[in-house]
């Protein structure tokens, strides 16, 4: 068996890994794992853990938003599920960007659980609290950003910069239309295929799991800022089958997960 799994939170990863290992199933995990749990710690069939640099993506969308705002003004932040590394790291990226841009003020930050409806409700509450002082909305994913966008449109605040992460089609379209400022793509088609490709290559003997480096077994993969300049070309997600050939599986590694 081959499994390509996105655990809901860091605490879910350990039981998934142990069950897969006990069954002899090849496993690739994505996004969430405890910092002290690693594929090379005695797990023969846990091939790799793939994630993306949340600090970098959180900072990238913040900087794009600050530029759209002209370098000054108040913002609100919508955090994700706080038990996940993605939520923590992305917010750290925002904090780093804020430290470098003293004319941007963080008016408020609340968790909206990576959920669109919650993002709408939280933004609506924060609009009531802060009103026209809000010039930007930083959201830790696109679902919350799209919820925030709905709340802003309902309040007649169409000139507020809104950013998210994930490059879901509706968000990319919003960037192309100019209603959102930016999102970050981690290439969903590649994510969906590469873990299964790794398992297939291991099953067929074309990938020697024991011979992989630690960097190949837990790594950050490439991500791309989507803004007005490149949104149109990213409207339709595409998979390149060459990426899934056994010799190309690690071409998108940008660094080890430390």
Q: How many domains is the chain partitioned into structurally?
A: 2
Both 108 and 214 in one domain: the answer is: no
Q: Per the domain annotation, does 233 fall within a domain? A: no
Q: Do 72 and 173 have their domain in common?
A: yes
Looking at residue 118, its pLDDT comes to 98
User: Do residues 196 and 129 share a domain?
Assistant: no
Residues 6+ apart with CB under 8 A from 145: 78, 119, 137, 139, 162, 163, 164, 171, 180, 183
187 contacts 225 by C-beta, under 8 angstroms: no
Q: Are residues 155 and 206 in the same domain?
A: no
Q: Averaged over 45-49, what is the pLDDT?
A: 98
Residue 69 reports pLDDT greater than 90: yes
Query: Average model confidence (pLDDT) for the chain?
Result: 96
Specify the pLDDT at position 47. Answer: 98
Confidence check: pLDDT of 84 > 90? no
The pLDDT of residue 237 is: 82
- Give yes or no for residue 65 having a pLDDT over 90: yes
Residues 191-250 have pLDDT tens digits of 999 999 999 999 999 999 999 999 999 999 999 999 999 999 999 888 999 999 999 999
Q: Check whether 142 has a pLDDT greater than 80.
A: yes
Domain membership of residue 206 as a residue range: 2-52+186-221+240-256
Check residue 166 and give left, alpha or beta (phi > 0: left; psi -120 to 50: alpha). Answer: left
Tell me the average pLDDT across 54-66: 97
Q: What's 15's domain CATH number?
A: 3.40.50.2300
pLDDT greater than 90 at residue 92: yes
Residues 87 and 29 in one domain: no
- Assess if residue 230 is contained within a domain: no
User: What is d(CA 195, CA 30) in angstroms, rounded to the nearest whole number?
Assistant: 9
Provide the pLDDT for residue 177: 97
Judgement on whether residues 80 and 135 belong to the same structural domain of the protein? yes
Q: Is 112 within 8 Å of 122 (Cβ atoms)?
A: yes
Q: Are residues 48 and 150 in the same domain?
A: no
pLDDT at 66: 98
pTM: predicted TM-score of the whole model, two decimal places: 0.85
Residue 244 lies in a domain: yes
User: How far apart, in whole angstroms, are the C-alpha atoms of residue 117 and residue 68?
Assistant: 25
Do both 104 and 129 map to the same domain?
yes
Indicate whether 73 belongs to any domain: yes
Statement to judge: residues 67 and 163 lie in one domain: yes
d(CA 257, CA 19): 23
Q: Quick one: pLDDT at residue 8?
A: 83
**pLDDT class for 86, splitting at 50, 70, 90?**
confident
Question: Is there a single domain that holds both residue 174 and residue 198?
Answer: no
Task: Tell me the pLDDT tens digit for each residue of 153-178.
Answer: 999 999 999 999 999 999 999 999 99
- The DSSP code sequence of 201-243 is HHHTTSS-GGGS-HHHHEEEE--EEE-TTTTGGGSS----GGG
**pLDDT, tens digit, for every residue of 11-44?**
899 999 999 999 999 999 998 899 999 999 999 9
Q: Are residues 137 and 246 in the same domain?
A: no
pLDDT at site 126: 98
């Amino acid at each position: 068996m081959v499994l390509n799994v996105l655990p809901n939170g860091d605490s879910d990863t350990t039981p998934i890994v142990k069950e897969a290992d006990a069954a002899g199933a090849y496993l690739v995990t994505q996004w969430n794992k405890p910092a002290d749990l690693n594929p090379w710690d005695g797990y023969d069939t846990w091939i790799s853990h793939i994630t993306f640099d949340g600090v970098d993506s959180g900072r990238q969308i913040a900087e794009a938003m600050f530029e759209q705002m002209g370098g000054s003004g108040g913002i609100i932040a919508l955090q994700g599920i706080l038990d996940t590394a993605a939520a923590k790291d992305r917010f750290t990226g925002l904090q780093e960007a804020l430290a470098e841009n003293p004319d941007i003020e963080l008016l408020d930050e609340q968790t909206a659980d990576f959920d669109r409806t919650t993002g709408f409700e939280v933004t609506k509450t924060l609009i009531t609290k802060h009103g026209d002082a809000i010039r930007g909305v930083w959201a830790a994913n696109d679902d919350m950003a799209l919820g925030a966008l709905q709340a802003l449109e309902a309040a007649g605040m169409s000139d507020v910069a809104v950013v998210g992460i994930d490059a879901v089609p509706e968000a990319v379209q919003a960037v192309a239309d100019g209603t959102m400022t930016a999102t970050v793509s981690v290439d969903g088609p590649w994510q969906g295929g590469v873990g299964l490709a790794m398992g297939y290559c291991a099953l067929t003997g074309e990938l020697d799991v024991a011979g992989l480096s630690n960097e190949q077994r837990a790594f950050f993969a490439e991500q791309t800022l989507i803004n007005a300049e490149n949104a149109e070309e990213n409207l339709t997600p595409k998979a390149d089958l060459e990426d899934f050939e056994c010799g190309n599986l690690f071409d998108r590694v940008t660094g080890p997960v430390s």
